[in-house]
A and B are shown apart, each in its own frame.
Chain A
Amino acid sequence: MNRNTLTAALLTAGLTLWAASRAQAQTEIEIVRDMVPGMTKPVPVALSGFTGEAKAVLEFDLFVQGFAFVPPEQAQFLISGSNNNNVQGRLTDRLNGTTLLSRNYSGASLRVQAHQFADEIVQAVHRIPGIGRTRIALKVDFGQTSEICVADFDGHNPRMVTKDDSLVAAPAWVPGRMALYYTSYKLNNPDILYHDLGTGNRTVFSRRPGLNTSAAVSPDGRQVAMILSENGRSPDLYVSNSDGTGLRRLTSTPTDESSPCWSPDGRWICFATRMGARRVLARVPASGGDMQRIATEGVMNPSEPDWSPDGKWIAFTAQMGGFNIAVVPAEGGRATILVAGEDPSWAPNSRTLVYTRRVGGQRILSLLDVPTKQTKDIPRISGNNSQPAWAR
């Protein structure tokens, strides 16, 4: 090849790569704008060859990440395989026959293998990580007392992490770490404790007079927002460093603030408050400043907000008669009610929510895929289940 041909080839290659990357960026933006909560059709798939627990895991995991199970002739993808000793499976595009995945798992357990396979299917089709190996923390209420529990996102392998015979509330994960903050009345006051789940060691993080509750850790793990009432006027929003130093008061209202959550870029804290007579969602710069209302048009009495990890949505409870799970664009606007329930927490995938559902006199947790509105209950753990927090 002579120099001119080589030059032409390299230039062409360079231009093609550059153009492809631009096109990809544009496609990603379009996909984002197209997500209308509750209006996305699930991806139709057909499962074959799986049985028992492996089948149950695949069906559960895929359903809450926006897949629906149909006869093969209606499916976009075929998921076939077996689980005799180990899970093996293939993901095939039914229309053009290409095999997108072919896997043969070993080790761990059948359940873990099935979760892994589901995750890889989600990655291949949705191009986002699956949630099959993620965890939640929750409050288990025994009537007179309550304890903190950690479980797989689907409610399996639950583990009580407190044994205090008192009351607890509002577990919150430290991002990326096996550690929780939660409210505990063990010391005869609602205090916020820090709990290292690996070692079991706990320390008192905030024990100011009055209320200490609703801890929320900043995305970089360096700060903790919380609701305190030591000012003696009303519960307000405060932030401190995660070592407890540097306490700053962010709101100073005569009404009660509650349920702070951080924007994923760490710049804002969103919370529930009141403006005039109306209950609203608001946000305040984490470094301090004026609070601004976040409009939630079309619904009333918003509370318990949670900001999606991709920054685009705020999920919250709208109380109108009963309790409803709603989402609103993070900058505020028209809210969409999705399902009856309360206290939502986003999965790392920014599409699945875990929330609490009141059924008769009991509380259970449930999962909701926001784009498709598909829901699935989590089997009840021991007592009433509420206040779930998804580890992110």
Chain B
Amino acid sequence: MKITKIAALFILALLVALPTAGCRKKPANVTPLPGQTRGTIGDPGAEGLGAGGTIADGGAWGADSLTGLAGLDTFEGMAMDRGALAAYTVFFDFDSSVVRAGERGKVSSVAAELRNRPNTKLLIEGHCDERGTEEYNRALGERRALSLREALMREGVSGARMRTISYGEDRPVDPRSNEEAWARNRRGEFVLLLP
């Protein structure tokens, strides 16, 4: 019994002591550093994006499939007309995606235009002023666009006809840093998509 304990302690002591005994001698006084920094970076991803990446279907989500966004492929090949609905750009309060009462007339006008042109679709762009952080603004811009899409659906426009893009604070119409500019930048723009 005693002998086993001694042996165990001895082995333990050796195991702990060995690494600190400095078995390996360092080369005399010089620390050589490798010439290449680790992890070189290849040239910017040039021509195209590889098709390899697996992308799950942006598909049905059960209860949300009624409001869920239509696939991007359903908008492919359509031409953008920024002028057609430019007069109806909706403006938002700071940090809000609520469509103000005073702006709802514009939504109705857009709905009417879409009713008159049944082959068209709609791109809704959401934008923010610079007084938010960037990713927060990217999400807020999207919520503004979705808010307008919902408002249009309430006016009878099919959800499948509309897609949203948020630009966060990346695309101001007015680059100045004052209340007037900020108010102009907090907006949702309607871009008519032609077949």
Which of A150, A161, A211 counts the most chain B CB atoms within 10 A? A211
Residues of the A chain whose Cβ atoms lie less than 8 Å from the Cβ of B69: 208-210, 229-232
Nearest Cβ on chain B to A321's Cβ, whole angstroms: 10
Residues of the B chain whose Cβ atoms lie less than 8 Å from the Cβ of A361: 177
Whether the Cβ atoms of A229 and B42 lie closer than 8 Å is no
Q: How far is the CA of A240 from the CA of B146 in the complex (A)?
A: 23
A91 at the A/B interface (Cβ < 8 Å)?
A: no
Whether the Cβ atoms of B56 and A214 lie closer than 8 Å is no
Report how many residues on chain A are interfacial, defined by Cβ distance under 8 Å.
89
- For window 176-207 of A, CB contacts with B under 8 Å fall at 178, 183, 186-190, 193-207
Whether the Cβ atoms of A104 and B29 lie closer than 8 Å is yes
- For window 1-50 of B, CB contacts with A under 8 Å fall at 2, 6, 9-10, 12-13, 16, 29-35, 37, 39-46, 49-50
Nearest Cβ on chain A to B2's Cβ, whole angstroms: 7
Residues of the A chain whose Cβ atoms lie less than 8 Å from the Cβ of B30: 104-106
- For window 144-201 of A, CB contacts with B under 8 Å fall at 146, 150, 159-163, 167, 169-170, 178, 183, 186-190, 193-201
Residues of the B chain whose Cβ atoms lie less than 8 Å from the Cβ of A41: none
Whether the Cβ atoms of A133 and B37 lie closer than 8 Å is yes
- Closest Cβ neighbor of B10 among chain A residues: A10
Which of B70, B71, B132, B139 counts the most chain A CB atoms within 10 A? B139
Whether the Cβ atoms of A14 and B142 lie closer than 8 Å is no
A107 at the A/B interface (Cβ < 8 Å)?
A: yes
Which of A198, A204, A304 counts the most chain B CB atoms within 10 A? A204
Residues of the B chain whose Cβ atoms lie less than 8 Å from the Cβ of A146: 170
B58 at the A/B interface (Cβ < 8 Å)?
A: yes
Checking B32, B45, B135 against A258 with a beta-carbon cut-off of 8 angstroms, the contacting residue is B135
Nearest Cβ on chain B to A215's Cβ, whole angstroms: 11
Whether the Cβ atoms of A256 and B142 lie closer than 8 Å is yes
Q: How far is the CA of A6 from the CA of B2 in the complex (A)?
A: 12
B161 at the A/B interface (Cβ < 8 Å)?
A: no
Given known contacts A13-B13, A231-B64, A107 and B72 CB-to-CB distance under 8 angstroms? no
Nearest Cβ on chain A to B85's Cβ, whole angstroms: 19
Whether the Cβ atoms of B68 and A245 lie closer than 8 Å is no
Residues of B at under 8 Å CB distance from A?
2, 6, 9-10, 12-13, 16, 29-35, 37, 39-46, 49-56, 58, 61, 64, 67-72, 97, 132-136, 138-140, 142-143, 146, 149-150, 159, 163-168, 170, 177
